[in-house]
Structure 1
Amino acid sequence: MKKFLLGAGLGYVLGAKAGRGRYEQLVRTYRRVVDHPMVQGAAGVARAKIGEKLKR
């Protein structure tokens, strides 16, 4: 799901003709989401679970 969202966002940014202002808005939104404590916590849990699966 994360790869799909990243690809969709990247495709929009690269293909958009909305201009630099819209690009900057998207980048700010992305950074705000990625830096949010809940997202960071969920990413840590996901990394831990993947690590457990890979050790088996």
Structure 2
Amino acid sequence: MIFKLLKVLPWIALGYVLGAQAGRARYEQIAAAAQKVKNSGPVQSGVAKAAEKAPVVAEAVKEKATTAAHAATDKLPGHGGGETGKHVAPEAGLNGTGS
């Protein structure tokens, strides 16, 4: 059994090394193609447009999020309804003991 393993092991190692080299070469091909696309004119034009619009869109998102947060806060017990400073869990009674 061990003798068979010793005969096969070098072939497995050789297959691994050759496969790793082929995989590395393919990785280098893919990386070079991706770099070429990244540096192309149309992609760089799109990046520039996105960079110009990002602050405007971010401000709009910030405003919407702030409005939604205020609306959600107003729905919480003890907020917005004129009862400030009173925080009582809904399942607890008004005295906070549950009765």
Is TM (by shorter chain) over 0.5?
yes
1:21 alignment partner in structure 2: 25
Q: Which runs of 5+ in 2 are unaligned?
A: 1-19, 61-99
CA positional deviation for 1:54? 2.5
RMSD: 1.6
Q: TM-score, normalised on structure 2? A: 0.36
2:39 matches 1:35: yes
Q: TM-score, normalised on structure 1? A: 0.60
Moved over 3 A (4+): none
Q: Which structure would you say has the larger Rg?
A: 2
Aligned pair count reads: 40
Cα separation, 1, equivalents of 2:45 and 2:55: 15
Which gives a bigger RCO, structure 1 or 2 (Cα 8 Å, sep 6+)?
1
CA positional deviation for 1:48? 0.9
CA positional deviation for 1:31? 0.3
